[in-house]
Structure 1
Amino acid sequence: MPPTVAEVFREDADHPAERTSPLMQALLLGAADDWDAGGVTRAVLEVYAGDREGSALPLRFAAALHRLVLTGQAPELAAHYPTVGGTAAPELAWAPARRVLERQTARVRELTGQPCQTNEVGRTVPLLVGLAEVARRTGGPLQLWEIGASAGLNLLVDRFRFGEVWGPPDSPCRLPAPGVDLDLDGVVIVDRAGCDPAPLDPGDDEARLRLTASIWGDQVERFRRLRGALEVAGSSRVPVERAGAAEWLGHRLGAGSTAQAGVPVVWHSIVRTYVDPDEWRQVEELTARAGVWRLAYEPDPEPGARTVPLRLHGPGIERGGEVLVRGSAHGPPLSAA
């Protein structure tokens, strides 16, 4: 028997990342209790009760509420959202959130139907570690190709500033340094491209709103990073092709597609759960070709895993990949493998 909406929300609230956010805990657990009590949450979410596993329903619901906050349509809830200057306790957000649901039931239901689109730029911190390692082993330069690229922000990794160790000092997107010893001199990206089934244009106001709404409303640093990355994308946008991962990679890795003088590096971060298993097998087969490297930042499959490994796949590496570092669902902080 498939899990109920309440069970899905409680399971998500128990994930390590969500446990760092009192606001997410309050919203997800409050909605779960309200569902079980037959409250307004059922009217909002019942249409999505049969969504497939991995559709990120709790994150979509939270993004719908954050969007109303960002657009000034939920002022009583905004008081609990530090991203808009709210100072009331995030832990107490469920009561005003429930009143928003009662008043805007149809609107929240509609917004929750949008696909999950979290372009988490914090994941460029482990990406930088991986790029440095591929450059060290191959001599570079690199072609960076991202599947599940959303708005393509992470493809701009070399336009961001990482602590005081790498990147343009005047970049508006500032991230912590990886915290591990790296030789970054060889990280030169000569080509970058991405694909996504539903890409977003970072220059479009609606897309920018969807992306910012997907950040959790009490995680201000993540919010600032995203806004900084969107500013970078205003002058350094990377087109993201509307395509599935296997189809797109098959084209990129086809005859003559790697003619540029660069090492192909395929990158993906917390995207595997959204891809059909048969298609994912094709992705693994395609990236197992000679001369292709893959950086996978995906959660370990075993229950209760507390960190996310960055695995390097490539020539001479065993099928399971080589773990370089471990981080959080949002990237930093990193720890040694």
Structure 2
Amino acid sequence: MSWRAAFRDQARNCAALGSPFTARLLGLIAARGLPEGRVAARIANWQGDPTSRGASVPLRLAGALHGLVLERRVPDLAALYPPAQVADDALWTAVGSAVIAEEAWIDRRLDHAPQTNEVGRSAFLIAAARWLAARTGLPLELSELGASAGLNLLLDRYALSVGDRWFGPQDAPLRLSPDWRGSTPEDVALHVVGRAGADLAPPDPVAERTRLLSFIWPDQPERLARMRAALDEAARLRPRVERSDAIDFLERRLAATVEGRLHMVFHTVAWQYFPETARARGTVLLAAAGRRSSAAAPIALVAMEADGGGPGAGLTITLWPGGMRHDVGRADFHGRWIDWRPPEPESLPW
């Protein structure tokens, strides 16, 4: 796919996910091109897949431009970002000037793949963790694959609001309020006894705060507010995220079986980006660990991933002993809505 087609494709995705500004910005770039120079040449000659299924080049550039705005490096561009309402010509002129003036800075930012570490996905993770806690009666050990800054490892610190119900600590620094459909989450307390994640390039929630914020689309203030609150909590609690291949990390985490706790392995919109050989190896490791599990030391794989269906992402929970996989609903990729439909208790394999 050409770089212009990749930008048009991502513009459609942004429109579908509720960011008309980012859709408009990427559409303008696709239609009008970029000023000649290092940035334009690098994007036009990108090696590999530039789309959202590969390197996500359009979102790398959108994040770089938003980073310029957040850091107030280009005031003329910042003045035209949301909530401002401006004509295409004015926005495009400012973008072109910014690309020229900050060419070296933008070029460096293009090195970084988008890492939204979308904390809205914790709404599903909270419901899944509560379902598992209610089914097993055990505290949780959390392991996240593709954890970015580890914000979703703090799922027990967040509150989930469903109708007039509140699930989570009363002093939660962040409340998630998605459009909730289907079953009500289990009303059980979460007790997390350990947590760790892995990422090939884990960003520091303090030192790289602005870069993480820059990947949130600028016309979605609620997502930005959620991210700021989650980054504050991560800066305070510092969840452990190893700089590691996710499957190597998984092998280490599955090596020891600890009775009296449920090991909840999870990934959200990450598995699809792992190489096919890594996914196959991870599947084998989980199956082997599942055979060693017991009712006193169960394992669960909780996943939120694109599955070729729609709308949104598929939600699944696989529980060992037994290895029974449950399709538990669907969710918006950013957690704007959750359709939560877990099985009844009698489907437990023990």
Give TM-score scaled by structure 1 length.
0.87
In structure 2, relative to structure 1, the CA distance for the partners of 1:59 and 1:100 (3 Å cut) is: same
Unpaired runs of 5+ residues, structure 2, are: 291-297, 342-350
In the other structure, the counterpart of 1:56 is 56
Q: In structure 1, what is the equivalent of residue 280 of structure 2?
A: 281
Counterpart in the other structure of 1:252:
253
Matched letter for residue 196 of structure 1: D
**Equivalent-residue separation in structure 2 for 1:74 and 1:301 (angstroms):** 40
1:1-337 residue pairs with structure 2 within 5 A?
3-15=1-13, 18-35=16-33, 42-43=40-41, 45-51=43-49, 53-82=53-82, 86-89=83-86, 93-163=91-161, 165-176=166-177, 179=180, 180-204=183-207, 207-254=208-255, 257-259=256-258, 261-288=260-287, 289-290=289-290, 291-302=298-309, 305-315=310-320, 316=322, 318=324, 321-337=325-341
Which runs of structure 1 show a deviation greater than 4 angstroms over 4 or more consecutive aligned residues? 16-19, 37-41, 89-92
In structure 2, distance between residues paired with 1:236 and 1:334: 27
- Aligned-pair CA distance for 1:89: 4.7
Counterparts of 1:115 and 1:90 in 2: how far apart (Å)? 29
Separation of aligned partners in 2, 1:212 and 1:298: 22
1:98 is paired with a residue of what secondary structure?
Answer: helix
Secondary structure of 1:331's partner? Answer: coil
Residue 44 of structure 1: how far off its partner (Å):
5.1
| Partner amino acid, structure 2, of 1:294 | L
**Range 72-81 or range 325-334, more displaced:** 72-81
- Which structure 1 residue ranges, 5 or more long, are not aligned? none
- Quick one: structure 1 residues 186 and 94, their matched pair in 2 at CA, closer, same or farther if it must change by over 3 Å? same
Alignment partners' CA distance in 1, 2:139 and 2:223: 30
1:235 match: secondary structure:
helix
Q: Which amino acid aligns with 1:99?
A: S
CA contact (8 A) 2:146 2:200 kept: yes
The answer to whether the 8 Å contact 1:296/1:311 transfers is yes
Deviation of 1:38 after TM superposition, in Å, equals 8.2
Q: Deviations over 1:27-57 (max 9, x none)?
A: 211111234x886663352353535652221
- Paired with 2:174 and 2:249, the residues of 1 have a C-alpha distance of 29
What is the rounded CA distance, in whole Å, between the counterparts of 1:147 and 1:7 in structure 2?
Answer: 31
Q: 1:74: Cα distance to partner?
A: 2.1
Report the alpha carbon displacement of residue 223 of structure 1 after superposing the two structures with TM.
Answer: 0.4
Identity of aligned residues (%): 34
Shift of 1:137: 2.2
- Structure-1 residue corresponding to 2:346: none
- Name the amino acid aligned to 1:32: A
Q: 1:137 to 1:271 in 2, by over 3 A?
A: same
Q: CA RMSD in A?
A: 2.4
Shift of 1:146: 0.4
